[in-house]
């Protein structure tokens, strides 16, 4: 599908080859990398739009730039012209539009253009968000259609967000560099509607110095040869030189498609990029390398993500960006996957015609499922775990026949850390008195975290505060109650702060972790607080050297101990009240120590043992009773306490996660009949969506299918764990593949597909007579006959509101409950 023809300018099928005759073009190797010569076959200029460069100004007298310059402004000194006193802006301008084919110097990607120089940075290249925002607004208000921003800040602000939104509302394309620190994407590139450009090596890989992350869109060559102050030329590098390449190609593409909007130009450049690393979008190279030729020669697509009608066709998108796509009609499903960098919340906002709503079904990285309905312009949220999750989108109005374009803006909010609420000293989170490493977040405005470290013995205290993002400029504050305080902040973003107190005495030490006061807003990133406390410890559990002296421990509670003598043994005992899955953990083992752990039953018969360093774990199914654990080490230690903890999950049948669940009885019944089983960790995961492979296997077992059909699906090998059961179900016509000869074994099963599988298993073909039984199904729906028959016969019911929600993904619990009801 393509955009309407009215906004796509037709061109002849034969192009005239174009090549610049400028003498330094051979030094501009980046032009070959992005295939500019092939693009010049189509167009070499765009003088119908203005391109603003918000930077250090431009050398207004440079002979290779002057013909392409229009009036600009100097925001640093309004009484003077925007003359470049640094050189950076002149470098950027040359990449965009040094006059081409004039037998002089270099060639810009645009041979002829209208470049508006806006000086918003000082002579040393520094500047603040006030002048940056003013520069963008000036450009927008004075007719610019593209604004190049080869600069960046680590700081988010509402002010800059509003400026960026203003540009978007005025249909102005912002193109910004991601930054050169090998860290996270800087602002303004990180705002959802800004085209964020990273740097690429000559080998077509992401440059290690280029900032990356969820907000990146494209990459372009890192190294350029371009115009310099004083009418000269020089080599320059960085994402500052990559961004103007994208802006220039955007201008050429906009000249070819003058009716397009800024967001459609963004999508066209994404659509025509060369995929470099992971298939689809990724956090290192975005959608891939800028391709000037493809941007000018390929038809713009209304939905570049198609085909994505199934989970196995899901396309990668960012957790923090705006994209554009379409629903072909009401039955079209759009599947996407997102890789969340942390646990947190994902907000989705749809720009979609009034009167339409989007049904969002989310499958988290941990397998949990949720659904929500989104209205135009109103954000909806889903909880996400670190890792890959999937969203399935579909119009609520399934009967709609026409295409519906939509824009989707995703925004990620990081999790609230486990130590909250600790924003004040009086609510400080109390830490155990030992060495430890903890992770935290700044999840809300003006967040700061207080900790109390009770020191029980004199010793040495070393504290280190580090972050995984330059968006945090960490500040470390330490004070012993009632005594002198220490504040450590070297003033640079993302740099580790450290404090060593060579002698500490018993008492409470308060530690405050914060971001610099200018960085008030929530941050997508974590800090790590490392506390090294070196003191001679005392084992609080002694004497426990004999089994009859064993320390009685409560489940789910941490206990700490030492092996402080060569022949020391530590005994613990615990009791489980019911058949349970028990996990015994021994952690915080000193790095140079090997520890041993032995499990005994109530009669002191050995049951299991393990040994090693760093951490030990024993996991075993245990009936109700009393148990003993013996702990020892290869040598004594008295500086670090180990941690001992026993966790137990009560088993119902063979599962730890179905007690009290509404489907518990059905799960137990089908488990006893060996129609279903759980996972290796003794879970059934009743609320997890069921896949086609799982559903087919359960039906094959439940109905004792034995005959097999010869099957050859493109995505299912004979070694697949469900292959035999799928072959049996195919023989019985319970299930089949898709028209493209795939089976999609990991595709979630919808409620309608679930009902259809059971109907085929029972040889029920459906009926056409009678009233439609559910409010969200009509007589044109493909499964209405089956629904009528099974509802009339009492096999199925709907929801309290009279709906059936046929396209909602079915859970494992729903499937097993229906199986228990229908199994002969």
> Which residues are identified as catalytic?
55, 88, 240
| CA gap 777, 398 in Å, rounded | 9
**Cβ contacts of 39 within 8 Å, gap of 6 or more:** 109, 249, 252, 292, 293, 295, 296, 297
| CA gap 167, 151 in Å, rounded | 17
What would the two tokens of residue 32 be?
């070959």
Q: Are β-strands 232-237 and 223-228 bridged in parallel, bridged antiparallel, or unpaired?
A: antiparallel
**DSSP code per residue over 139-183:** HHHTTEEEEEE---BS---HHHHHHHHHHHHTT-EEEEE--SSSS
Q: State the CB neighbour count (10 A cutoff) for residue 205.
A: 14
| CA gap 35, 19 in Å, rounded | 12
What would the two tokens of residue 400 be?
């709609």
Torsion, Cα 790 791 795 800, to 10 degrees, reads 150
**Cβ contacts of 76 within 8 Å, gap of 6 or more:** 119, 120, 121, 122, 131
Per-residue burial over 377-408, b if 16 or more Cβ lie within 10 Å, else e, is eeebbbbbbeeebbbbbbbeebebeeebebbb
Between helices 784-792 and 751-761, what is the axis angle to 10°?
A: 70
Q: Are β-strands 380-384 and 344-351 bridged in parallel, bridged antiparallel, or unpaired?
A: antiparallel
**Cβ contacts of 203 within 8 Å, gap of 6 or more:** none
Termini Cα distance of the chain: 48
φ/ψ region of 87 (left if φ > 0, alpha if ψ in -120 to 50, else beta) reads left
Per the CB < 8 A criterion, the answer to whether 386 and 340 are in contact is yes
Total residue count of the chain as it appears in this document: 824
**DSSP code per residue over 304-350:** TT-S-SSGGG-EE--SS-EEEEEESSTT-EEEEEEEESSSEEEEEEE
Find tokens 């410890």 and name the residue: 537
Per the CB < 8 A criterion, the answer to whether 726 and 745 are in contact is yes
Per-residue burial over 269-292, b if 16 or more Cβ lie within 10 Å, else e, is bbbbbbebbeebbbbbbbbbbbbb
| CA gap 76, 56 in Å, rounded | 9
| CA gap 441, 436 in Å, rounded | 17
């Amino acid at each position: 599908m393509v955009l309407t023809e009215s906004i796509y300018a037709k061109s002849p099928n034969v192009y005239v080859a174009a090549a610049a005759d400028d003498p330094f073009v051979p030094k501009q190797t980046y032009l070959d990398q992005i295939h500019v010569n092939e693009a010049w076959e189509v167009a070499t200029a765009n003088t119908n739009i203005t391109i603003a460069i918000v930077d250090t100004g431009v050398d207004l007298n440079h002979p290779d730039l002057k013909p392409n310059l229009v009036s600009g402004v100097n925001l640093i000194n309004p009484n003077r012209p925007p003359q470049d006193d640094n050189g950076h802006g002149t470098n950027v301008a040359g990449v965009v539009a040094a006059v081409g084919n004039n037998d002089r110097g270099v060639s810009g990607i645009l041979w002829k253009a209208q470049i508006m120089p806006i000086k918003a940075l000082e002579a040393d290249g520094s500047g603040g968000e006030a002048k940056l925002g003013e520069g963008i607004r000036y450009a927008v208000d004075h007719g610019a259609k593209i604004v190049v921003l080869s600069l960046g800040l680590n700081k988010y602000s509402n002010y800059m967000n509003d400026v960026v939104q203003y540009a978007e509302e005025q249909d102005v394309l912002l193109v910004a560099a991601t930054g050169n620190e090998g860290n996270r994407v800087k602002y303004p590139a990180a705002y959802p509607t800004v085209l964020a450009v990273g740097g690429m090596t000559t080998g077509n890989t992401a440059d290690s110095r280029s900032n990356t992350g969820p907000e990146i869109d494209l990459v372009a060559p890192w190294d350029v040869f371009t115009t310099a102050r004083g009418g000269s030329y020089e080599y320059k590098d960085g994402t500052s030189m990559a961004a103007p390449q994208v802006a220039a190609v955007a201008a050429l593409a906009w000249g070819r498609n003058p009716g397009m909007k800024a967001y459609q130009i963004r999508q066209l450049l994404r659509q025509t990029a060369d995929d470099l690393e992971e298939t689809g979008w990724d956090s290192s190279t975005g959608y891939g390398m800028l391709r000037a030729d493809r941007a000018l020669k390929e038809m713009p697509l209304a939905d570049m993500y198609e085909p994505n009608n199934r989970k196995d066709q899901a396309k990668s998108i960012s957790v923090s960006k705006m994209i554009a796509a379409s629903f072909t009609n009401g039955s079209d499903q759009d599947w996407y996957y997102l890789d969340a960098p942390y646990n947190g919340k994902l907000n989705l906002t749809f720009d979609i015609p009034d009167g339409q709503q989007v049904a969002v079904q989310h499958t988290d990285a941990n397998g949990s499922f949720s659904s929500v309905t989104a209205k135009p312009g109103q954000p909806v949220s889903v909880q996400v775990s670190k890792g890959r999750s999937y969203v399935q989108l579909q119009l609520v109005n399934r009967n709609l026949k026409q295409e519906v374009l939509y824009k989707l803006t995703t925004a990620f909010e990081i999790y609230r850390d486990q130590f909250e609420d600790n924003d004040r000293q009086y609510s400080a989170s109390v830490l155990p008195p030992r060495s430890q490493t903890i992770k935290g977040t700044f999840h809300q405005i003006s967040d700061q975290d207080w900790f109390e470290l009770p020191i029980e013995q004199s010793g040495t205290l070393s504290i280190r505060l580090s972050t995984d993002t330059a968006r945090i400029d960490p500040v470390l504050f330490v004070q012993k109650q009632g005594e002198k305080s220490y504040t450590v902040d070297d003033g640079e973003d993302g740099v580790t702060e450290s404090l060593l107190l060579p002698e500490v005495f018993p008492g409470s030490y308060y530690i405050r972790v914060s971001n610099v006061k200018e960085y008030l807003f929530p941050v997508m990133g974590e800090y790590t607080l490392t506390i090294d406390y070196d003191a001679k410890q005392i084992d609080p559990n002694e004497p426990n050297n004999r089994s009859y002296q064993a320390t009685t421990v409560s489940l789910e509670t941490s206990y700490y101990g030492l092996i402080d003598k060569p022949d020391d043994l530590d005994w613990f005992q615990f009791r489980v009240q019911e058949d349970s899955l028990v996990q015994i953990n021994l952690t915080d083992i000193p790095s140079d120590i090997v520890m041993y752990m032995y499990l005994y039953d109530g009669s002191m018969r050995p049951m299991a043992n393990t040994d090693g360093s760093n951490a030990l774990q024993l996991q075993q199914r245990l009936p109700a009773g009393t148990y003993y654990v013996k702990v020892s080490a290869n040598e004594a230690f008295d500086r670090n306490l180990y941690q001992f903890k026993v966790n137990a999950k009560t088993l119902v049948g063979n599962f730890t996660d179905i007690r009290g669940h509404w489907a518990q009885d059905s799960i137990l019944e089908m488990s006893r009949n060996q129609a279903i089983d759980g996972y290796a960790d003794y879970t059934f995961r009743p609320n997890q969506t069921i896949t086609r492979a799982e559903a087919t296997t359960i039906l094959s077992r439940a109905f004792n299918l034995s005959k097999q059909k010869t099957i050859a699906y493109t995505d299912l090998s004979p070694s697949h764990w469900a292959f035999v059961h799928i072959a049996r179900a195919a023989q019985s016509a319970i299930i089949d593949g898709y028209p493209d000869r795939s089976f999609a074994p990991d595709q979630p099963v919808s409620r309608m597909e679930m009902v259809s599988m059971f109907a085929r298993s029972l040889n029920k073909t459906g009926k056409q007579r009678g009233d439609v039984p559910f409010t969200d199904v009509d007589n044109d729906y493909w499964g209405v006959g089956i629904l009528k028959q099974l509802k009339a016969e009492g096999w199925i019911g709907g929801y309290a509101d009279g709906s059936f929600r046929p396209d909602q993904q079915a859970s494992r619990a729903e499937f097993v409950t229906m199986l228990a009801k229908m199994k002969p």
